[in-house]
Amino acid sequence: MLKMKKWWAMTVLCSLMFLAACGGNTGAGNTGTAKPGSEASTNSGQPAKQEIPASKDPVTIEFWYGLGGKLGENMAKTIEKFNASQKDVIVKGIVQGDYSETEKKLQAAIASGQVPAAVLGSNVDWARKGYFAPLDELVKNDPNFKSEDFVQTFLNQGKVDGVQYFLPLYGTTQVMYYRKDAFQEQNIDPASLTTWEKLADAAAKMTKKEGNKTTFYGWEPMWGKDNMMDAVFGKGGKVLSDDGKQVLIDSPEWVETWEQFRKWIHEDKIMRIHSGGQGWEYWYKTIDDVMKGQAAGYTGSSGDQGDLDFNILGAMEQPGWEGKGEGKPVAEARLAGIPAKASKEQQEAAYKWFTFFSNTENTAKWSMDNGYIAVRHSALEDPEFKSFSESNPQISVPLRQASHGSEPFSDPTGGKINDALRIAADKVQIENISAAEALKAAKVIAQKELDKLK
């Protein structure tokens, strides 16, 4: 009998527990139990709140760049600005020694498979080998890209075999800096110096001599092949034939242009160059000549602007040649790329960072802070840039010049043609050897190296 009572008590208890578990309406204390995603009713008759999934974590990427000094500080500030502007991506800047060191470390990273998602640097051969990710699909899906707003010479430099592998972050070109007082003394309007012939005439007027010795030079080109190549491109000269099989550096456009520079330097002595020394020593000696009143002007980088006193100096574009139109000096982009081994998520994050850096406001800011060229035409209309350029007109000169600039020569021989041109330039500028002789010798060497690629 006792066992029967115990059995009956247990049966009743289990029944009650079963009814409670079935969610029957047992009174005010019941709130019900809902399956995930269902709309269970509360006592108020309103649907219960659904569970909201946790927000997605931001994608963190590394950005490698070889910038130091003021440039490095400004890059760090831009990274901070980007990270604060949105919550999807976090960029961690990793500073390298320079552009060359960045490439060396990237090569090791590619080999190991542990790559950064973003790099300030580019390599055409590596893009062809598949080490960099093509960006065409990302650009296509970006309604805010507006390729027509980019300086085309910069954007095109990021293409390899018609595919956009790299995006320009900023650019540089060689412009003309002149002493305002030297020009005013001879009543020379810088806006009138639209050709090399006119610049040479002005340089002759400003040059001062004591006997056969020049004490004040009318102009100082920068040492090396680059300034003279800029002038060649303005005359229509090319390094290679359109099919890439013939070296053309002994053509009339080359010989006439380089011979003119030789004459200005060694015979007329209205121009001079500083050469040799350690590192950039020759560069700063050239700048010092102008700043100390020993020359009327020089040809230098747009990036020099941060070191120059524009109370003393003005800036103007490189000239062209009579009958040939405006000048076509090289305008070179500093490009950024995305290693192909980065994940798709990281690649999208890197692209977002690049396009932030190069938007109108930020490319204008980079130009104002550093003197380098903004990569978008719309930077000229940026309110802050316009206000800055009113009191600092030199800042817009490189951007205007870049709009009709030439792309830098890409040496298919791995630098052998450039080496031959460098030797030829020294013969003309330093040794006073005729341009015809120097360029003919360079042509033989360069063509031999090019023929090895056949």
- Position with higher pLDDT, 309 vs 1: 309
Predicted local confidence at residue 15, as pLDDT: 41
pLDDT band at 55 (very low <50, low <70, confident <90, very high): low
Q: Which residue has the tokens 């949105």?
A: 86
User: What b/e sequence results for 184-218 when a residue is b if at least 16 CB atoms lie within 10 Å of its CB, and e otherwise?
Assistant: eeeebebeebbbbeebbebbbbbbeeeeeebebbb
pLDDT band at 153 (very low <50, low <70, confident <90, very high): confident
- How remote is the C-alpha of 275 from its chain's centroid? 27
pLDDT band at 198 (very low <50, low <70, confident <90, very high): very high
Predicted local confidence at residue 378, as pLDDT: 95
Using DSSP, how many helices (H) and how many strands (E) does the chain show?
17, 11
pLDDT digits (tens, 9 = 90+) for 311-322: 999 999 999 999
In sequence order, the 6+-apart residues with CB closer than 8 A to the CB of 366 are 74, 78, 169, 170, 357, 372, 374
Predicted local confidence at residue 94, as pLDDT: 97
Predicted local confidence at residue 278, as pLDDT: 83
Predicted local confidence at residue 43, as pLDDT: 37
Q: Which two tokens stand for residue 402?
A: 């870049």
CATH 3.40.190.10 assigned to domain 174-331+409-451? The reply is yes
Q: Which of 351, 368, 332, 407 is nearest to 119 (CA)?
A: 351
- What is the Cα–Cα distance from 360 to 372, expressed in whole angstroms? 14
Superfamily of domain 59-172+332-402: Periplasmic binding protein-like II (3.40.190.10)
118-120 vs 331-337, strand pairing mode:
antiparallel
Average pLDDT, stretch 348-363? 98
Q: Does the pLDDT at position 40 exceed 60?
A: no
Containing H/E element for 411? Answer: none
**Fold agreement between 59-172+332-402 and 174-331+409-451:** yes
Collapsing DSSP to helix, strand or coil, 320 comes out as strand
Q: Does the pLDDT at position 155 exceed 90?
A: yes
Q: Does the pLDDT at position 71 exceed 60?
A: yes
Predicted local confidence at residue 18, as pLDDT: 38
Predicted local confidence at residue 371, as pLDDT: 85
In sequence order, the 6+-apart residues with CB closer than 8 A to the CB of 271 are 203, 217, 218, 219, 220, 221, 261, 264, 265
Average pLDDT, stretch 335-339? 98
pLDDT band at 207 (very low <50, low <70, confident <90, very high): very high
Contact present, 316 and 190 (Cβ < 8 Å): yes
Q: Does the pLDDT at position 171 exceed 60?
A: yes
Domain boundaries, the chain: 59-172+332-402, 174-331+409-451
pLDDT band at 11 (very low <50, low <70, confident <90, very high): very low
In sequence order, the 6+-apart residues with CB closer than 8 A to the CB of 220 are 271, 272, 273, 274, 286, 289, 290, 295, 297, 298, 299
- What is the Cα–Cα distance from 217 to 138, expressed in whole angstroms? 52
Q: Does the pLDDT at position 284 exceed 70?
A: yes
- What is the Cα–Cα distance from 140 to 452, expressed in whole angstroms? 39
Q: Does the pLDDT at position 24 exceed 60?
A: no
Average pLDDT, stretch 212-221? 95
Q: What percent of the chain has pLDDT over 90?
A: 75
Q: Which two tokens stand for residue 225?
A: 């092949």
- Position with higher pLDDT, 308 vs 449: 449
Q: Does the pLDDT at position 41 exceed 70?
A: no
pLDDT band at 16 (very low <50, low <70, confident <90, very high): very low
In sequence order, the 6+-apart residues with CB closer than 8 A to the CB of 335 are 120, 121, 122, 157, 158, 166, 167, 168, 169
Predicted local confidence at residue 82, as pLDDT: 98
- What is the Cα–Cα distance from 254 to 240, expressed in whole angstroms? 12
- The answer to which of 48-52, 81-85, 112-116, 378-382 has the lowest mean pLDDT is 48-52
How does the average pLDDT of the chain come out, rounded? 88
Predicted local confidence at residue 305, as pLDDT: 87
